[in-house]
Each structure stands twice: as C-alpha cells, then as structure tokens.
C-alpha cells in the first residue's frame, strides 16, 4: 500500500469533516423548520432559523470559504512533490482548527472561536509558504 503524504491524508479526512458540517447544519435547520420543510421544495418564505441552526449555517458558510483554498494547496503540494515540513504542519493546523471551530460556534464561545479561525488561516499560510 502506498503511503499518502499528510496533506493528501487530511484532504481525504476533510471530506468527512465537510459532511459533518453539512449534516449538523441540515439537522439543526430541520429541527427548526420541520421535516415537511426539509422534504419539500422549500419554496416561498422560510421560517427564520433559531440560534443554534443559524450558527450552524454560518459555520458551514465559513468552512466553505476556506475549504477550496485547503483543497488547492493540498493538491498543489502533492503535485509539485513539496509535501511535508511546514506544509504538513499547516494542513494539521487547518484541519484541527476546523474541527474545533464548529462546537465553539454552536455554543457561542467568542474569542476562542475567532482564535480557531485565525489558526486555520495560519495553517493555510504555512501551506502556501511551502508551496511557493
């Protein structure tokens, strides 16, 4: 079996993380808006989301803002054979911060949540430095 570089391993696991974000957002929205809304065409005015579902929706959007950059950098590092070093550290930093981010957001823990976001951006910057 071929050994995957850290960046590609985390790319695979990041897909699982994306699914977790989507599932959490979907479940909390369904809890607020009802199963009929979720199963239906979602036409017309939508019932406002509650606090937790609103946070889950914003957390997902925030994840989606950085995810394409992570994917591009992870693939770029692998294609150019520049994996490892600070690129791998950056990938772990981004991944760990994104795992910690969602419960912090759901529970409304300010400042620490912002610190996690900053850590995820730092992880991407480390990957970019390794790539360039």
Read off the pLDDT of residues 75-93 as tens digits, 9 standing for 90 and up.
999 999 999 999 999 999 9
- Tell me what the pLDDT averaged over the chain comes to: 95
For residue 90, how many other CB atoms are within 10 A of its CB? 28
Q: H helices within 5-111, ranges in order?
A: 6-33, 35-39, 51-79, 85-106
Q: Single out the residue of 117, 119, 129 nearest to residue 86, CA to CA.
A: 129
Interior angle at CA 10, CA 58 and CA 122, nearest 5: 60
Segment-wise mean pLDDT, segments of 10 residues, the chain, 132 residues: 91 98 96 88 84 97 98 98 98 98 97 98 98 97
């Amino acid at each position: 079996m071929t050994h995957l570089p850290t960046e590609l391993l985390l790319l695979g696991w990041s897909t699982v993380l994306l699914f977790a974000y989507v599932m959490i957002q979907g479940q909390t929205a369904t809890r607020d808006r009802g199963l009929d809304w979720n199963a239906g065409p979602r036409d017309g005015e939508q019932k406002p989301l509650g606090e937790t579902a609103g946070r889950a929706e914003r957390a997902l959007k925030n994840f989606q803002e950085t995810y394409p950059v992570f994917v591009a950098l992870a693939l770029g590092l692998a294609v150019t054979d520049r994996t490892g070093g600070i690129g791998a550290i950056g990938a772990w930093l981004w991944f760990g911060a994104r795992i910690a981010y969602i419960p912090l957001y759901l529970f409304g823990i300010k400042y620490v949540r912002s610190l996690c976001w900053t850590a995820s951006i730092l992880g991407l910057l480390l990957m970019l430095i390794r790539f360039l």
